[in-house]
Structure 1
Amino acid sequence: MVSLLAVAGLLAACAGDDSGDQEGAQQEVTEQQGPAGAVPEGLDEFYGQSLTWQDCEDYATSDTASMAFNVTGIECTRLTVPLDYAKPDGETITIGVLRHKADDQQRRIGSLIMNPGGPGAAGMPAAAQTASSATDSPLSKRFDFVGFDPRGVGASEPQISCLTGEERDAERAEDDEADTSPAGVRKQEEDQRAFAEKCAERTEHGEQMLANMGTRDVVKDMDVLRSALGDEQLSYVGYSYGTRIGSVYAETFPDNVRALVLDGALDPNQDPTDELVAQGEGFQQAFGQFADWCAKRQDCALGQQADQATEKFQELVQPLIERPVEVGDGRKLSFDDATTAAAQAMYSEQLWEPLNSGLNELNRNRGAALMQLADLYNERNKDGSYATTQDAFTAVRCVDDEPVTDRQELLATERKYKEVAPFLDNGQPAGGVRDACAFWPVPNTDQPSTPEVPDLPQTLVVSTTNDPATPYEAGGKLADALGGSLLTFEGNQHTVFLQGNQCVDKIGADYLIDLKVPSEGQRCS
């Protein structure tokens, strides 16, 4: 699952950065707005803590964050929370928080807390980008836009740390997945086990931190944040995996919910294997839309026959398994990087042009453009280091879901994925490789389940008809489970709210401001 932030960052990088510098250093301001609303027993000091707001420059831990923070009107702070909520008197950690204050403070409703997805995506850059792009939205007048980096992520401390930049580069270049011989499977599983061990060894607090990285812990952090900001109830916008955060928050703190916008929903009751297959179907459907668009162009890298696009794409990328393409600085474009670039481009029609350009380059045995797309997906910084996203993605997933260890189930899932998403197929037999979660040093603490929240205030679920990562049907299931309203967007992209569609943005703003839900069957295009 990729966050909204990855797409926004990629678009900004392709277009160039035209934002202005922040206007001078910001003075520190300490506020105590909490405790507000209900306070769980033993957590008074956390819920009532003061927050010291300051300039955001020192909070940027990636190129994406540095670019996002290059705007005016934002301020940052650190929220202190228990490492383990079962031991509130034990170790503490901090959560990075960014705020853009409401333009009309006299009519301010409260804070609008946002999460861009992942899991593992940083919320501070996402909130900064939204505040910068949504200046004409009535939401910017009535709400403080607030983003937080979930525990272990970005500016939150300590960070999850598993692989060095050099190790991540090497992992991407290897294309080990193509070797599904018994020896190849053993090698891949040894690498997965080593990854899990490195996460425990290199992350501060080790296994204790890994055990408390899940969604159940993130929603507790978010409730502390709500109170420290002075809000008796939560107003929240969650994208993609952020919809799981929203639904788990609703189950955990139902009386603290004011409004939830959940865009690009995960099926709340879908196990990881079914979710993977459904996502593969979504990517293939989006690739078909890309192929139709491309076939109308004289410069289409895949030719003018859309029904042959998958075959043409594979003719281009499968040779990379044996002959990766040099891209400079000692790096080579692998099959994995090329398909990552293509999958990234399925998240937004605005990325189809860069993908076609990259595939035309590959036709000429050049790979720089596709590598740029893959680097931005993986959040590789200019200095060769990486943002925390990929490490955190695995850390959260391994404690949120029960690991799949049955070889036959893994083989069946892999074969099904190749069947439903043939453009991503490496052309090799299924291997049934167990991933890092099978070797994770701590047990899972959660699993997918249908939320049961009677008497929850009305929620708004937004679902896109041709969403490649979170299929449209999942939105309807989540809306039904929460007793909320479903807004359908007819389009080809992953998530849509506050991204420029006037119909969706107006309905979402009306809901968040006035708690007005759309009529049944409402659609936007």
Structure 2
Amino acid sequence: MRFSRRRTLITAGLLAGALTACTTQATPPPPPPPSPVADTHALDRFYDQKLDWGDCATYATGQQSQDAFRAPGVECARLTVPLDYANPRGETITVGVLRHKALDPAHRIGSLVMNPGGPGGSGMEAAARLVPTVVNNAIGLRFDFVGFDPRGVGASRPRVQCLTDAERDADRASNPGLIDATWTYQARDYAAKCAQRTEHGAAMLANMGTRDVVKDLDVLRAALGDDKLSYLGYSYGTQVGYSYAEAFPQRVRALLLDGAIDPAADDPDSLVAQATGFSHAFGQFAAECARHAGCALGSDPAKAQTEFENLVQPLIAAPMRTGDGRVLSYRDAITGVVEAMYSSQSWPFLNTGLGLLRQGDGSVLLRLADSYYERAADGRYSSLQDAYYAVRCVDNPRVTDPAAVRQRMIDAAPFLGWGRPDQGELDVCASWPVPSTSQPHRPTATPAAPPLVISTTDDPVTPYQAGVTLANLFHGGLLTVDGTQHTAFLHGNTCVDVAGLDYLVDGSQPEPGTRCRV
């Protein structure tokens, strides 16, 4: 069984648990109607609620969030929302929320709510990690900076739960063979465990999609006291942003969308596009590596794929034991490389890992894979992987021929072989216990305030053209970033940050054709 995510690189350090992004589905059929609300007045109690802010320590779900929540000036609360918006008088769940209040309250604009991607990324943890950055700019001065854990994620309750930490470790350490019937069996077993181990079971899974997250986001907007939403979304967070704009177009003040997803792209095409992006990034890594002495893949970029395959393919038959008693499997080795493709800043670390692998030491590649899966040093995993599937499987129609799509993915990125961490996604969703609640489509409404879309030319996860398409669909601005990395805003690039801050503060769009360089 493989697990996958698309995440943004916004952490304080290389292996600090960076957060993620995603993809979408088909164009022709119109989107299904939103879930009906039986009694609109029943929603008043949610929209009128007051958040009870307090210390964030009790919201931590692991070592990484404990560390993040020590950021000075943060406070946390729980937002109550309906489990099912079609039955607002029924069961309720809670959404974890974190904020850092504006340091210049006299010139406060309102709240800026962010989502880091995934799906399944913790917005609370991501926002807390960004506090040291935003306190020095207009966001920290003029906005209450807010991150939320979407329903079923992180500090939100209940959390989607599918595998135990031990089960996930065992799964990662195994090499069950090439794609065969074993994958189908494991996918069914995984889906069944998600329904059995998650509180409210199938009812929770049926209401985990983006359709429901944007409704929670509107309740949060009201609870924060904002008439209109100012929003920052990375990667999958862009899908949350444009879906909110379609559902509540008149309630949008500003949408900054970085690492965009094409709203109309179907799941197979988006997975293949990502495979193509990773393949391109690997080629760039090989070329850059070859320019330096000590490149683990040699001095000839044309031979890099062969060198890489010679390094990792022995792990298929014999996973490599590491010093701490764990093993590096073939699939984890591939996942470690995928993790490093998110940003060229990680390439030196990847080269070190490949060089050590050649010497019989797989510890660095295993650490990279741990970062991808958000496994902490104490062996605990975040909820990202389970929540990822819970959202993906209801956001997209089921694919009837997973094997054909997988082959297209392999053809697009042959160096990844069958070890790509999202190889099992189509099988899991084919076995999911509840039907999809939405599907990809071109937006049917335009937000009152045009968005700013930031798109990076060699983004291996969300293709550059997707950002161009989204900006055109919403008649928004486009900021092009030349470079190889996934997302760019608040990553230390002055050109990008100035343009983004100007937009968030007063709606100023960069001049058409504006470009920044990583």
Report which structure shows greater RCO (CA 8 Å, sep ≥6).
2
- 2:211 corresponding residue in structure 1: 216
- 2:152 corresponding residue in structure 1: 152
Change (3 A) 1:213 1:253: same
Letter in 2 for 1:133: T
Which deviations, in whole Å up to 9, do the C-alpha atoms of 1:251-280 show, x marking residues without a partner?
101110000000000111011000000001
2:182 to 184, 187, 206: 187
Question: Do residues 375 (structure 1) and 374 (structure 2) align?
Answer: no
Query: Is residue 452–residue 482 contact of structure 1 (8 Å, CA) maintained in 2?
Result: no
TM-score by length of 2: 0.92
TM-score by length of 1: 0.90
- 1:481 corresponding residue in structure 2: 473
Question: Do residues 106 (structure 1) and 109 (structure 2) align?
Answer: no
- 1:19 corresponding residue in structure 2: none
2:320 to 308, 319, 325: 325
Across the aligned residues of Structure 1 and Structure 2, the Cα RMSD in angstroms comes to: 1.9
Q: Distance in 1 between matches of 2:178 and 2:515?
A: 46
Correspondence list, 1:431-510, <5 A? 435-454=427-446, 456-510=448-502
Which deviations, in whole Å up to 9, do the C-alpha atoms of 1:26-46 show, x marking residues without a partner?
xxxxxxxxxxxxx96431111
Q: Distance in 1 between matches of 2:257 and 2:41?
A: 29
Q: Distance in 2 between matches of 1:47 and 1:284?
A: 46
Q: Distance in 1 between matches of 2:194 and 2:425?
A: 19
Question: Do residues 115 (structure 1) and 122 (structure 2) align?
Answer: no
Count residues with an aligned counterpart. 491
Which deviations, in whole Å up to 9, do the C-alpha atoms of 1:344-389 show, x marking residues without a partner?
1111122111111111110001111111110111011233221100
2:7 to 3, 9, 17: 3
Q: Distance in 2 between matches of 1:465 and 1:417?
A: 21
* Residue aligned with 1:67, SS: helix
Query: Is residue 250–residue 447 contact of structure 2 (8 Å, CA) maintained in 1?
Result: no
Letter in 2 for 1:482: F
Question: Do residues 424 (structure 1) and 424 (structure 2) align?
Answer: no
Query: Is residue 138–residue 501 contact of structure 2 (8 Å, CA) maintained in 1?
Result: yes
Question: Do residues 132 (structure 1) and 127 (structure 2) align?
Answer: no
Q: Distance in 2 between matches of 1:293 and 1:315?
A: 20
Deviation, 1:412, is 2.8
- 2:308 corresponding residue in structure 1: 313
Which deviations, in whole Å up to 9, do the C-alpha atoms of 1:428-486 show, x marking residues without a partner?
9xx99951111111100001111122463211000000101001010011111111111
Question: Do residues 234 (structure 1) and 229 (structure 2) align?
Answer: yes
- 2:34 corresponding residue in structure 1: none
1:204 to 199, 207, 214: 199
* Residue aligned with 1:425, SS: helix
- 1:46 corresponding residue in structure 2: 46
Letter in 1 for 2:276: E
- 2:295 corresponding residue in structure 1: 300
Q: Distance in 1 between matches of 2:193 and 2:13?
A: 29
Q: Distance in 1 between matches of 2:17 and 2:447?
A: 46
Question: Share of identical aligned residues, percent?
Answer: 55
- 1:336 corresponding residue in structure 2: 331
Query: Is residue 320–residue 335 contact of structure 1 (8 Å, CA) maintained in 2?
Result: yes
Query: Is residue 173–residue 329 contact of structure 2 (8 Å, CA) maintained in 1?
Result: yes
- 2:247 corresponding residue in structure 1: 252
1:268 to 263, 266, 274: 263
Change (3 A) 1:41 1:457: farther
**Unaligned segments of structure 1, at least 5 residues:** 16-38
Q: Distance in 2 between matches of 1:454 and 1:158?
A: 33
- 2:75 corresponding residue in structure 1: 75
2:276 to 270, 274, 281: 281
Q: Distance in 1 between matches of 2:210 and 2:166?
A: 29
Query: Is residue 253–residue 448 contact of structure 2 (8 Å, CA) maintained in 1?
Result: no
- 1:29 corresponding residue in structure 2: none
Deviation, 1:324, is 0.7
Deviation, 1:13, is 4.1
Query: Is residue 411–residue 432 contact of structure 1 (8 Å, CA) maintained in 2?
Result: no
* Residue aligned with 1:8, SS: coil
Letter in 1 for 2:63: D
Change (3 A) 1:202 1:14: closer
Question: Do residues 414 (structure 1) and 406 (structure 2) align?
Answer: yes
